[in-house]
A = this chain, B = another copy of it.
């Protein structure tokens, strides 16, 4: 395995609903064209914006439940209403923190509803309705424009159950393996490997975050040099079925 290169794609404009995101990314890539097996990593926020998943808070009528929870947590009842709408279930609601399972099956704070960097005052950004479909669409469009067979990972930053700090993870995947599998493989002494599945696209997301940054409007990065077998896996690969989950 050779070296991996990860670089930020700079110069994207503020993204608006209906924008041609693949076109904007292709333009921002500039003189350095994409190559086969490049992974284009795109922050969820600009995908959501392009797909119109920005909600004006003035348009939101909070339910009684949202009002009550918002009061308990000291938060905006309209935001709480959106969090509830985006949630399949509430995993924890304690000390002002709400950990939810989204309709996609991801477990994260506030079901991914985020008021920061919404591009407008009094607005919030929701996760894409189907981030895997968003990734697949971007992959096809970037492929058409570049002639290269690229992969796309759509990311968000999630907290962890027992560790401080957030990390970037894959919420949409197209064109690459989500899990690198070692099951049934043995070490030189004949023992089966303990860790049998590595979350490859999550690690790609983490690597990309190192160059992306939250304040300098750099929501796209490219990872080059991965040895990627073709795959139809999506980020749904990461969704642990409830019956296998010890913490839900």
Residues of A within 8 A of B (CB): 1-8, 91-92, 94-95, 97, 99, 101, 106-107, 110, 114-121, 157, 160-169, 178-179, 182, 185, 187-195, 197-200, 202-204, 206-207, 209-211, 213-216, 218, 223, 226, 237-240, 245-248
Do residues B161 and A238 form an inter-chain contact, with CB atoms below 8 A?
A: no
Do residues A3 and B6 form an inter-chain contact, with CB atoms below 8 A?
A: yes
Do residues B165 and A199 form an inter-chain contact, with CB atoms below 8 A?
A: yes
Query: Pick the contact of A202 from B197, B206, B214, B215 — CB < 8 Å?
Result: B206
Do residues A247 and B114 form an inter-chain contact, with CB atoms below 8 A?
A: no
28 A-B pairs, CB-CB below 8 angstroms?
A: A1-B213, A1-B216, A1-B218, A2-B7, A3-B7, A4-B6, A4-B210, A5-B6, A92-B247, A97-B246, A99-B246, A106-B162, A107-B161, A107-B163, A116-B194, A118-B187, A121-B189, A121-B190, A160-B161, A163-B202, A164-B237, A166-B195, A166-B197, A167-B202, A182-B214, A182-B215, A185-B215, A198-B209
Complex: A206 Cα to B205 Cα, angstroms? 9
- What residues of chain B lie closer than 8 Å to A204, measured between beta carbons? 210
- What residues of chain B lie closer than 8 Å to A2, measured between beta carbons? 7
With contacts A1-B211, A182-B214, A189-B119 known, is A107 near B198, CB below 8 A?
no
Complex: A226 Cα to B164 Cα, angstroms? 21
Do residues A193 and B116 form an inter-chain contact, with CB atoms below 8 A?
A: yes
With contacts A6-B3, A120-B189, A189-B120 known, is A92 near B203, CB below 8 A?
no
Query: Pick the contact of A4 from B107, B157, B165, B211 — CB < 8 Å?
Result: B211
Distance in Å from the Cβ of A64 to the closest Cβ of chain B? 25
- What residues of chain B lie closer than 8 Å to A1, measured between beta carbons? 8, 211, 213, 216, 218
Distance in Å from the Cβ of A191 to the closest Cβ of chain B? 5
With contacts A160-B160, A238-B165, A245-B162 known, is A200 near B193, CB below 8 A?
no
- What residues of chain B lie closer than 8 Å to A167, measured between beta carbons? 167, 198-199, 202-203, 206
- What residues of chain B lie closer than 8 Å to A161, measured between beta carbons? 107, 160-162, 245-247
Do residues A4 and B3 form an inter-chain contact, with CB atoms below 8 A?
A: no
Complex: A164 Cα to B115 Cα, angstroms? 28
